[in-house]
Amino acid sequence: MSRQPTALEVSSLLFYEFRQSVQFQVFRYSKDHTQGYSLAVAQSALAALQSDVKAGALHLAAVDWADVHQHAERLSLQHTRSGGHRTVDILHVATALHLGATEFLTFDSNQKKLAKAEGLSVPV
């Protein structure tokens, strides 16, 4: 984040997915303390996200979801049968395309393949 010259543009979908994932990890931890993470860790992660927003490191991008869904339909038709892409991964790449992004950040190798296939630069 510190190397970004400007705020990182993110969608409400990304914020939702992050928050949902945190809640799911708390659920996992409640069932088995060797999985997921505690409520305290979850609260810290959510506070860090909010801090990044307040500091201007993250910016909520305005998104036309109908246009994103059109991009997603095309991506699904062109790539899912051969690449096995999941809905949310397609929606993130479609959102990037909708926003005119040239760079796409991900830790997911399959999502990375999709983004690269669509001409987005994906740094290591």
Q: Does residue 92 belong to any structural domain of this protein?
A: yes
Number of folded domains in the chain?
Answer: 2
Q: How large is the greatest C-alpha to C-alpha distance in the chain, in angstroms? A: 42
CA 109 – CA 124 distance, rounded (Å)? 11
Per the listing, tokens 């909520």 go with 60
Q: Does residue 30 belong to any structural domain of this protein?
A: yes
Q: Does residue 124 belong to any structural domain of this protein?
A: no
pTM: 0.88
- 72 and 56 in one domain? no
The domain in which residue 13 lies consists of 8-60
Q: Does residue 2 belong to any structural domain of this protein?
A: no
- 112 and 80 in one domain? yes
Q: What is the token pair recorded at 4? A: 């970004």
Tens-place pLDDT, residues 32-54: 999 999 999 999 999 999 999 99
Q: Does residue 78 belong to any structural domain of this protein?
A: yes
Q: Does residue 1 belong to any structural domain of this protein?
A: no
Tens-place pLDDT, residues 64-122: 999 999 999 999 999 999 999 999 999 999 999 999 999 999 999 999 999 999 999 99
